């Protein structure tokens, strides 16, 4: 909030120019949008220079796709997944790999990007494989042998290091080769990738001196300082009711955001039913099966959108009770959590962490 007077001062000084008639902060509001990563993106920012940053944002997202998109033939992750023993990875790939490993460790493996073979087996991967007619437990056990994120190692020159080791040296020099210990292992960053892409775009905006903004890619969000209009109110975003066919986007709650990322993960849209059993797209990397619990959606606010995205996925794996227990045992985490569960009678039961007090509103009627 302390930065707002500076923005208004700059607007006022600019208005003193005889050739510039703009005197309201809203006159400097820029709104751009586009498509990337199989979805849409939109950005709003306040810029005294009134720049159109669409080409730069498109370029950033294109580089991200060329590195970590499983949907793009020839991307770094595509080449690694197709290889028998690994391949050289680029700096963007390495950055996302290490961020993923941090969340993997923090959640005791509930978030694991090497779960991709199981995601594909259940028919939820980019290959569009049909859902299995018959599930052989032996086949699940075999695929579970490929879910081993902590076994990946990096070769730098003549040194072989673990992901944990390289976290202490996040800026390695020279060529990096990501070794695959078992042929058939695959990575999928889709559960963190869009949130992380939001962060990469945000980094660029801030490098251009922009502080008042919001960035949204495929529903993952990050907001900067409060909007200068209406007395500097925080950015406000809705959380959908987790119901099938909620095409009108009926809201369960509205949440305020300031200098944080936000992500929501849910099981109420991507699933299939067979013989009366619902199979969610969220696969538990420890059991190999789609999760079976009452948690319908998890919304996380964190210091970055990437971390929020990955944690929301991890909590969808854990379920309501285990997530609440996890939060109690890890109170040092600077994350704000909102959970919506099926109450067993056709309604919803919600949980919100204490940090959300004062910035979330469930009374929308």
Q: 278: domain CATH number?
A: 3.10.520.10
Whole-structure pTM value: 0.90
Domain carrying residue 353: 234-365
Instruction: Determine, yes or no, domain membership for 3.
Output: no
Same domain, 295 and 352: yes
- Three-class secondary structure of residue 203 per DSSP: helix
**Positions of E strands within the chain:** 29-36, 39-46, 86-89, 153-156, 159-162, 176-179, 213-217, 220-223, 235-240, 251-257, 260-266, 271-274, 277-280, 295-302, 336-342, 348-352, 360-361
- The pLDDT of 201-218, averaged and rounded, is 97
State the pLDDT at residue 334.
Answer: 65
pLDDT tens, residue by residue, 89-104: 999 999 999 999 999 9
Beta bridge partners, 149, equal none
Long-range contacts of 142-146 (CB under 8 A, 24+ apart): 143/117, 143/118, 143/288, 144/118, 144/288, 145/182, 146/114, 146/117, 146/182, 146/184, 146/185, 146/186
Per-residue pLDDT, 158: 82
* In a domain? residue 64: no
Asked if residue 316 and residue 238 are part of one domain, the reply reads: yes
User: Mean pLDDT, the chain, as a whole number?
Assistant: 87
pLDDT greater than 80 at residue 270 = no
pLDDT higher than 50, residue 245: yes
Using one digit for the tens of pLDDT, what is the confidence trace for 105-142?
999 999 999 999 999 999 887 766 778 878 899 999 99
Asked whether residue 120 is domain-assigned, the answer is yes
Q: How many domains does the chain have?
A: 3
Q: Is residue 262 part of a domain?
A: yes
């Amino acid at each position: 909030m302390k930065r707002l007077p500076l923005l208004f001062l700059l607007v006022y000084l600019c208005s003193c120019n005889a050739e510039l008639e703009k005197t309201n902060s809203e006159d400097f509001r820029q709104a751009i949008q586009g498509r990337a990563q199989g979805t849409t993106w939109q950005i709003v920012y306040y810029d005294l220079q009134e720049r159109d940053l669409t080409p730069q944002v498109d370029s950033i997202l294109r580089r991200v796709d060329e590195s970590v998109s499983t949907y793009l033939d020839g991307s770094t992750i595509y080449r690694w997944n197709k290889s028998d023993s690994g391949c050289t990875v680029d700096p963007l790939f390495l950055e996302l790999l290490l961020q993923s490993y941090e969340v993997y460790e923090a959640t005791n493996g509930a978030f694991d990007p090497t779960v991709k073979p199981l995601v594909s087996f259940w028919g939820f991967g980019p290959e569009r494989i049909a859902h299995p007619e018959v599930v052989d437990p032996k086949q699940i056990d075999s695929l579970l042998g490929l879910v081993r994120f902590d076994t990946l190692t990096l070769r730098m020159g003549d040194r072989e290091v673990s992901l944990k080791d390289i976290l202490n040296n996040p800026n390695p020099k020279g060529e990096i080769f990501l070794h695959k210990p078992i042929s058939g292992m695959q990575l999928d960053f889709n559960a963190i990738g869009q949130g992380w892409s939001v962060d990469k775009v945000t980094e660029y905006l801030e490098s251009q001196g922009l502080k008042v903004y919001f960035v949204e890619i495929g529903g993952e969000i990050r907001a900067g300082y409060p909007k200068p209009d209406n007395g500097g109110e925080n950015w406000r975003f809705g959380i959908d009711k987790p119901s099938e066919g909620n095409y009108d986007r009926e809201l369960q709650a509205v949440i305020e955001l300031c200098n944080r990322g936000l992500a929501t993960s849910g099981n109420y849209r991507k699933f299939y039913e067979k013989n009366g059993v619902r199979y969610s797209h969220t696969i538990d990397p420890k059991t190999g099966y789609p999760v079976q619990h009452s948690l319908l959606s998890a919304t996380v606010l964190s210091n970055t959108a990437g971390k929020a995205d990955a944690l929301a996925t991890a909590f969808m794996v854990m379920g309501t009770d285990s997530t609440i227990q996890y939060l109690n045992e890890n109170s040092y985490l600077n994350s704000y959590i909102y959970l919506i569960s099926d109450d067993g009678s056709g309604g919803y039961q919600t949980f919100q962490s204490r940090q959300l007090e004062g910035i979330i509103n469930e009374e929308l009627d």
